[in-house]
Structure 1
Amino acid sequence: MQQILTYTFLVLYSITILGVVVVIITDNRNPLKTLPWIIVLLLAPVVGLVFYFFFGQNLSKKRIISRRTRKRITLQLEEAEHVGCPELPGRYRPLVQLLQSTCHAVPLYGSDIVPYTDGQSKMEALLGEIARARHHIHLQYYIFSDDETGSRLRDILVVKAREGVRVRILYDDVGCSRVKKEFFRGMRREGIEVHAFLHVKFPRFTSKVNYRNHRKIAVIDGRVGFMGGMNVADRYVRGTGWGSWRDTHFRIEGRGVAGLQIAFLSDWSATTKQHLSGSEYFPAARCYTENILQIVAGGPFGKWRALLQAESYAIMRARQRIWIQTPYYLPSDVLNTALQTAALAGIDVRLMLPARSDSRFIDLASHSYLDDMMRAGVRILFYKPGFLHSKLLIVDDMLTVIGSANMDFRSFEHNFEVNAFCYDTAFTARMAAIFADDAAQCHAVTPGEWFRRPRSRRLAESFLRLFSPLM
């Protein structure tokens, strides 16, 4: 009897493994991603099946966020924004069209954008705007900690909720996994609507562990918004034990806020099944500047990878410079090749990374990509004062990309992110000046110095590169 059960188990298990292999093949993914999964499943089926269950399933065909809902929310904005819209810069019209085609990102005219490069000033600005809220406060963060910074934000939200302001919060279930549940329960008791995005409930929803909401969005009364790289936690304000926390966040006032509102309301609808719309969420806004913003909500749903496609396209069309800040550089082949090609063509390509990041493994994997970058002529800058967590792309003199997405597989393939594409010479000049100030605090690595690093380190880098898609 025991022998029959053993054979039965082996047959069923083999059928399961082969079934998963068939599913992977019929997904028609990039062969460079398909083959490693098949090899792992065949050579180490137990471990491979567990890893695939957590990290390998493809949600792109699932409608986590309904396209119909997003189009319905966006439609009222499109009707308002087509009137009096300025001429788009000719050379950027294809990029604007690309973002409209892939994710319905409407061009929004005339926003005032204020950058913050430290957590203290950003938090004070956010708390000040929340204190002035009259109708609603919408917050969405990957991390909302129950430390001093998070508690300070919670306390003012409780005050506003008691005043009758509708407070809605989305947090990522994995990003906040260490936060005590009572922290969020306490807010709910005060009338604050708090929900976890893609709640992870074992064993049914384990595939969602790999698809996280990395967006950082705040919208107050539909008139002021915040976006960027900073979460709600002490380290974003005080820094780490080994240095400062250098990040970038933005306050937006004007029509661009509507793009952030769309991103939040789409996620809110997907999470709660509540469909919010109306003029109270999209109030009329004045024009402050001549800039044009496209707020791009990228994610693993649907056929297209809007952020990867748009940033690669912008880089390939660059004429003068490509300046990048990112805490992690684990690029796709398309993006990596585009940057190397630009550098070989004589374009000023600069890549700024932290000299030390918050993950030793990611550091090593990132560095494995820098050999060819160096050979192509890309200038590599390592930021020394602390951890560089800023996400910034500057292309030529008019295009700046800001937001939550890192230049890595996770941000482009798995995470829900939000970036803003800003077409404006004045704002681009301002962000280029901030980049230059940071560069003055960097160590510019020379090829001779870089290629002298120990062979053992190179081996570790190459090994960890194999796991880049999972980092």
Structure 2
Amino acid sequence: MNVNYMLILEIIVVVNAALAFVTVFREKRDIAATWAWMLVLVLLPVVGFIAYAFIGRKLPKGRMFRLQRQVAVQLEERLNQQREEIGDEIVPSDQISHSVINMVNMFMETDHAFLARKNRVRVITDGHDLFHLMLEDIERAHSSIHIEFYTFYNDQIGNDVLDLLIKKAQAGVEVRVIYDPWGSMGTWKSFFKPLIDAGGHVEAFLGTRSAVIDFRLNFRDHRKIVTIDGQIGYVGGFNIGDQYLGRKEKFGYWRDTHLRIVGSGVFSLQARFMLDWNATDRDHPFKDDRIEHKYFPLTKVKGETSLQIVSSGPDSDLQQIKMGYMRLIQTAEKRLWIQTPYLIPDDSVLDSLRIAAMAGVDVRIMIPDKPDHAFVYRATQYYARQLADDGVKIYFYHNGFIHAKTMVVDGRIASVGSANMDYRSFKLNFEINAFIYDPQVATQLEEIYEADMRYSELITPEKFKAQSTYLKFKQTASRLLSPIL
């Protein structure tokens, strides 16, 4: 009898391994993710396949972006204008360098990201300040309000925003909202019905109606975009929810970084929203003959900031934001300061950080001292420990939860946006960042970083070594799954 059981078990193991092989290798993916999934599927029969169904499958080509032609044409025309000016002074003379010019060119080629000049940019690090400004701007809107967030919760601030959007829609302002159903878990479509009844338009990203129907955990719309009248824009790390105002005991104070942009940089935020909308909602697309005048009004702004809005996602194999991060790392000569809630870099980014530190660059990475996702946090600790051994200064932020996604180089150039320093942001999520070529804004971000250091602890290699064996085991085990976290 025992022999029969052993035979059945052996058959199950062999069949499971064969199915795992076919399942993983039938789709193109990088080798690290391939072997991580093989590990899960082989060691966790049945359970592993259930996990794969939710987070392992690739996005079908039929669901990829169908870019609305006229919007794409508008972007290409603006990009061509910028290419003609590349030989001239593309940014103020004190910022000119080959690294900056090369980065501008790279984003133009890979993401049609034109260089927006003379913007007014405000850096916002507190949720109360952000929503105060944003609600004031929405209140003054007279033409259009476009909102795209990973998280739009049905809570106090979510209802405050919704009530104002209803009011503006009733007043005849065009209101469109894109939300991600997984990121907005618990917020049902019925929550938005009063806004729809008032004349607004609301869609779950890529047409998915609910988190229950949407079988995939991957390929989420992690972008955070607000444009108002095509003249004011917001981009960064905050979402819409009470926890982002420090109202959740689990997280405490929420430390994030967002930008308010006035100027031509809003053009790219508006265009990105329109592309996402037309890929999501075929019933109410943006019309060709209304695009330029209504949504891209000519504005004269006396600002000092040059920037590029760069987006990336699984609709492209180029990983544009990751390329931007790597270019920033390689550009650093003195200082490279990073804030990220999740530190799970792939080998290329990991090596770039190590090389910078070993070359004498002051590389600092600030991460939370508490988890919001257990496996992700243990993997973050693992990579933090490895980088500390290579000379990177690792800081654990103690004053609540740090969710900012920022990188600042030598007080000259910087990045602020939605993309974390991890596999998911590089390959699996739809993300958006602002790459900023302005010493004044970069210096301000360095000052903010230094202020955050007062609430942070430098975790030396010795402190990492003093961690318990069990904790290190959890970190190492989580790291094995890092390509699919």
Whether the 8 Å contact between 2:124 and 2:259 is mirrored in structure 1 is yes
Which residue matches 1:275?
A: 286
Residue 21 of structure 1 and its aligned partner are, at CA, apart by 3.7
User: Which of 234, 241, 259 is equivalent to 1:233?
Assistant: 241
Whether the 8 Å contact between 1:119 and 1:236 is mirrored in structure 2 is yes
Whether the 8 Å contact between 1:215 and 1:417 is mirrored in structure 2 is yes
Residue 314 of structure 1 and its aligned partner are, at CA, apart by 2.0
Which residue matches 1:255?
A: 264
Whether the 8 Å contact between 2:310 and 2:434 is mirrored in structure 1 is yes
Distance 1:282 1:133, change over 3 A: same
Question: After superposition, where does 1:28-107 map in structure 2 within 5 Å?
Answer: 28-42=28-42, 44-59=44-59, 64-66=64-66, 69=69, 71-78=72-79, 86-88=89-91, 89=96, 90-107=98-115
In 2: Cα distance, 1:47 partner to 1:405 partner: 30
In structure 1, give the amino acid aligned to 2:73.
R
In structure 1, give the amino acid aligned to 2:59.
L
Question: After superposition, where does 1:333-348 map in structure 2 within 5 Å?
Answer: 333-348=347-362
In 1: Cα distance, 2:109 partner to 2:482 partner: 29
Secondary structure of 1:209 counterpart: coil
Q: Percent identity?
A: 34
User: Which of 459, 465, 470 is equivalent to 2:479?
Assistant: 465
Q: Give me the TM-score of the superposition, normalised by structure 2.
A: 0.88
In structure 2, give the amino acid aligned to 1:52.
Y
User: Which of 367, 380, 388 is equivalent to 1:374?
Assistant: 388
* Segment drifting more, 177-186 vs 257-266: 177-186
Whether the 8 Å contact between 1:61 and 1:302 is mirrored in structure 2 is no
In 1: Cα distance, 2:323 partner to 2:60 partner: 15
Secondary structure of 2:46 counterpart: helix
Whether the 8 Å contact between 1:321 and 1:347 is mirrored in structure 2 is yes
Whether the 8 Å contact between 2:307 and 2:436 is mirrored in structure 1 is yes
User: Which of 421, 442, 449 is equivalent to 2:456?
Assistant: 442
In 2: Cα distance, 1:332 partner to 1:457 partner: 22
Q: For residues 153-190 of structure 1, what are the alpha-carbon distances to aligned partners after superposition, in whole Å with 9 as ceiling and x for unaligned?
A: 11111111111000000000111221143211221111
Residue 460 of structure 1 and its aligned partner are, at CA, apart by 1.1
Gaps of 5+ in 1: 1-10
In 2: Cα distance, 1:351 partner to 1:60 partner: 36
In 1: Cα distance, 2:112 partner to 2:330 partner: 22
Q: For residues 32-62 of structure 1, what are the alpha-carbon distances to aligned partners after superposition, in whole Å with 9 as ceiling and x for unaligned?
A: 2212323444554533332222212223856
Distance 1:205 1:72, change over 3 A: farther
Residue 29 of structure 1 and its aligned partner are, at CA, apart by 2.7
Residue 15 of structure 1 and its aligned partner are, at CA, apart by 9.4
In structure 2, give the amino acid aligned to 1:171.
Y
In 1: Cα distance, 2:36 partner to 2:83 partner: 47
Q: For residues 443-465 of structure 1, what are the alpha-carbon distances to aligned partners after superposition, in whole Å with 9 as ceiling and x for unaligned?
A: 11222222111111101111122
Gaps of 5+ in 2: 1-10
* Segment drifting more, 80-89 vs 391-400: 80-89
User: Which of 141, 145, 156 is equivalent to 1:133?
Assistant: 141
In structure 1, give the amino acid aligned to 2:261.
I
Distance 1:62 1:342, change over 3 A: farther
Whether the 8 Å contact between 1:299 and 1:413 is mirrored in structure 2 is yes
Distance 1:190 1:239, change over 3 A: same
Question: After superposition, where does 1:297-312 map in structure 2 within 5 Å?
Answer: 297-312=311-326
In structure 2, give the amino acid aligned to 1:55.
I
Q: For residues 340-393 of structure 1, what are the alpha-carbon distances to aligned partners after superposition, in whole Å with 9 as ceiling and x for unaligned?
A: 111011100000111223233322221111222111111111111100111100
Which residue matches 1:293?
A: 307
In 2: Cα distance, 1:360 partner to 1:202 partner: 21
Supply the RMSD in Å over aligned alpha carbons: 2.6
* Segment drifting more, 45-54 vs 347-356: 45-54
Residue 470 of structure 1 and its aligned partner are, at CA, apart by 3.4
Q: For residues 98-134 of structure 1, what are the alpha-carbon distances to aligned partners after superposition, in whole Å with 9 as ceiling and x for unaligned?
A: 2122211111111111011110110010011011111
User: Which of 147, 156, 161 is equivalent to 2:155?
Assistant: 147
* Segment drifting more, 255-264 vs 179-188: 179-188
Q: For residues 167-226 of structure 1, what are the alpha-carbon distances to aligned partners after superposition, in whole Å with 9 as ceiling and x for unaligned?
A: 0000001112211432112211111100000316699852x4311001111000000001
Alignment of 1:323 with 2:376, yes or no, is no
Whether the 8 Å contact between 1:63 and 1:301 is mirrored in structure 2 is no
Which residue matches 2:5?
A: none
Whether the 8 Å contact between 1:228 and 1:248 is mirrored in structure 2 is yes
Residue 80 of structure 1 and its aligned partner are, at CA, apart by 6.1
Residue 439 of structure 1 and its aligned partner are, at CA, apart by 1.0
In 2: Cα distance, 1:322 partner to 1:444 partner: 16
Which residue matches 2:273?
A: 264
Secondary structure of 1:194 counterpart: strand
Whether the 8 Å contact between 1:380 and 1:444 is mirrored in structure 2 is yes
Distance 1:63 1:92, change over 3 A: farther
Secondary structure of 2:292 counterpart: coil
Which residue matches 1:356?
A: 370
Whether the 8 Å contact between 1:71 and 1:104 is mirrored in structure 2 is no
Which residue matches 2:124?
A: 116
Distance 1:397 1:47, change over 3 A: same
In 1: Cα distance, 2:400 partner to 2:407 partner: 20
Which residue matches 1:6?
A: none
Q: For residues 301-324 of structure 1, what are the alpha-carbon distances to aligned partners after superposition, in whole Å with 9 as ceiling and x for unaligned?
A: 122111112211221232111100
Q: Give me the TM-score of the superposition, normalised by structure 1.
A: 0.91
